[in-house]
Chain A
């Protein structure tokens, strides 16, 4: 239940009109199928939970520009705006490792 409590805390802190999708958690949920629920990877792919926000933003943008070599992330990263990257990074940074 640790994950549930953390999520509840994140959403409780968000303004009432903001739903799960808009709060970053919803956008970031898409990453869960490869990087684990809330970024808690169970193996093979990098855990995103608890990674510093700056590092997440930098890596994501390097994937997007092609500066960082990748198998799939260079394609997926092109699907997100700076603002969306910022929201997702803030969500993952706020998760316990």
Chain B
């Protein structure tokens, strides 16, 4: 195995599988166990790195379709103007220092009986254990007209950081002062429970400075603000009086590109910028691999190891999992699940028992302005009898009030979690 994976040599070959064959690692017939990780987000990259930390004799190949990692956390600050795309975009080269082989390709199919992953650019990658951290894909079909409106650039989700973040920022910049930004929130569970409300706050930050006659209209399918409700509402009332309107029980069922309208069950709402976040499910590759066990959306896991309840030898991390009670679909949780999984995979390969008492932390910070932050945090322990994670009694809470000290801690969290996953 080559620790310094040579991309130029790699590209000369027909695909990653061929490249790994050339380094003598295409089969797992040798002494070394190989773990393949699909997806280089908060779950996958962290798992890849920690397996190498804890099991230096294990070969780790991470398959990721993107050239760079673009962070969803902090991406809302791009709209507010205090951060740029450059601040949330990182390469994967740091992982190579830990001996993780990063393959830029798209995993298109998993054969769990042959223990292979098919790559789009050709070739099959063999594995002893597979870790799948596929993130989310969208259920566009739940909102009539979404596909057409998206093609016409008339609606954005911007719920995966990247080109859509740039596009939304551009639409906000081009919107007239006095316009209405509509943010439609799907029914929970969805990726990042406080994310929509942070986004509303950041768009309001931008409007307050540059387009003070404009409005933020939140159409929420949920009855009320899903996370940190009182803290968000207080911030909105005090920092952006009259600017943010919240409407609960307002599920989007359609969008009309021509009239720039979001269709609710009982009325139509016009806007100048339509940011409609569709309902979500585990990423496509999880569906292909037969990992989805709940409501055709999420992947059930054994929480002690993160192994799929549907397919042996395959572990699932992050937003794609059927979340345990009070466990948000967050970057923090993906990071923590990745470490449970890494420890369990290393233990299993080394013939040891996985820990019976894993304990993990969630910390979600939200910026309600350029500098002021509110958090929700909790510690979760495995309840063996219920076979799920539960919040440790008394070990949870939110900020007493929004504050700038936590603005610094939120940025520290971001820097450290990025470093924890990428090297």
Instruction: Give chain A's interface residues, CB within 8 Å of chain B.
Output: 1, 3-4, 7-8, 11, 16-22, 25-27, 29-37, 41-45, 71-72, 75-80, 84
Could you tell me if A33 and B405 are in contact, using CB atoms closer than 8 angstroms? no
- State the CA gap A31–B419 with chains docked (Å): 13
Could you tell me if B392 and A44 are in contact, using CB atoms closer than 8 angstroms? no
- Inter-chain contacts of B29 with A (CB < 8 A): none
- Inter-chain contacts of A27 with B (CB < 8 A): 359
Could you tell me if A25 and B409 are in contact, using CB atoms closer than 8 angstroms? no
Q: Which of B49, B361, B394, B406 contacts A33 (CB 8 A)?
A: B361
- Inter-chain contacts of B53 with A (CB < 8 A): 3-4, 7, 37
- Inter-chain contacts of A71 with B (CB < 8 A): 375, 399, 403, 405-406, 409
Query: B318 to nearest A CB, angstroms?
Result: 13
Partner-binding segment picked from B18-26, B128-136, B336-344? B336-344
- State the CA gap A1–B361 with chains docked (Å): 26
Q: Which of A19, A33, A72 contacts B416 (CB 8 A)?
A: A33
Could you tell me if B375 and A76 are in contact, using CB atoms closer than 8 angstroms? no
Q: How large is the interface on B (under 10, 10 to 19, 20 to 34, 35 or more residues)?
A: 35 or more
- Inter-chain contacts of B408 with A (CB < 8 A): 44
Could you tell me if B420 and A33 are in contact, using CB atoms closer than 8 angstroms? yes
Could you tell me if A30 and B363 are in contact, using CB atoms closer than 8 angstroms? no
Interface centre among B98, B343, B357, B358 (most CB of A within 10 A): B343
Could you tell me if B420 and A72 are in contact, using CB atoms closer than 8 angstroms? no
Could you tell me if A4 and B56 are in contact, using CB atoms closer than 8 angstroms? yes
- Inter-chain contacts of B49 with A (CB < 8 A): 37
Q: Which of B344, B396, B420 contacts A36 (CB 8 A)?
A: B420
Contact A44 B361, CB 8 Å, known A33-B336, A71-B375: no
Could you tell me if A44 and B419 are in contact, using CB atoms closer than 8 angstroms? no
Could you tell me if B343 and A19 are in contact, using CB atoms closer than 8 angstroms? yes
Interface flag for B138 (CB, 8 Å): no
Contact with A along B394-405 (1 / 0, CB 8 A): 111101000101
Q: Which of A8, A31, A33, A75 contacts B397 (CB 8 A)?
A: A75
With both beta carbons as reference points, the residue of chain B lying nearest to A43 in the complex is identified as B415
- State the CA gap A26–B361 with chains docked (Å): 12
- Inter-chain contacts of A79 with B (CB < 8 A): 359, 361, 378-381, 392, 395
Query: B12 to nearest A CB, angstroms?
Result: 28
- Inter-chain contacts of A76 with B (CB < 8 A): 361, 363, 377, 379, 395
Interface flag for B246 (CB, 8 Å): no
Could you pull out 11 A-B pairs where Cβ atoms are within 8 angstroms? A4-B52, A7-B53, A17-B353, A21-B354, A30-B360, A31-B361, A34-B363, A37-B53, A37-B419, A72-B397, A75-B377
Q: Which of A7, A33, A72, A77 contacts B54 (CB 8 A)?
A: A7
With both beta carbons as reference points, the residue of chain B lying nearest to A37 in the complex is identified as B420
With both beta carbons as reference points, the residue of chain B lying nearest to A11 in the complex is identified as B54
Could you tell me if B339 and A29 are in contact, using CB atoms closer than 8 angstroms? yes
Kindly identify, within residues 312 to 351 of chain B, every residue whose CB is under 8 Å from any CB belonging to chain A: 332, 335-336, 339-340, 342-344, 346-347, 350
- Inter-chain contacts of B346 with A (CB < 8 A): 19-20
Contact with A along B166-203 (1 / 0, CB 8 A): 00000000000000000000000000000000000000
7 tightest Cβ-Cβ pairs between the two chains A and B: A44-B412, A79-B379, A21-B355, A79-B395, A19-B347, A75-B397, A79-B392
- State the CA gap A80–B379 with chains docked (Å): 8
Interface flag for B90 (CB, 8 Å): no
Interface centre among A22, A30, A41 (most CB of B within 10 A): A30
Kindly identify, within residues 20 to 55 of chain B, every residue whose CB is under 8 Å from any CB belonging to chain A: 49-50, 52-54
Could you tell me if A17 and B409 are in contact, using CB atoms closer than 8 angstroms? no
- State the CA gap A29–B408 with chains docked (Å): 22
Query: B144 to nearest A CB, angstroms?
Result: 40
- 4 more A-B contacts (CB under 8 A) besides A30-B361, A72-B409? A4-B56, A26-B355, A30-B360, A42-B415
- Inter-chain contacts of B395 with A (CB < 8 A): 75-80
Could you tell me if A34 and B412 are in contact, using CB atoms closer than 8 angstroms? yes
- State the CA gap A60–B321 with chains docked (Å): 31
- State the CA gap A17–B350 with chains docked (Å): 10
Q: Which of A11, A19, A84 contacts B353 (CB 8 A)?
A: A19
Could you tell me if A21 and B417 are in contact, using CB atoms closer than 8 angstroms? no
Query: B322 to nearest A CB, angstroms?
Result: 21
Contact with A along B375-389 (1 / 0, CB 8 A): 101111100000000
Could you tell me if A44 and B411 are in contact, using CB atoms closer than 8 angstroms? yes
Contact A20 B347, CB 8 Å, known A4-B52, A78-B392: yes
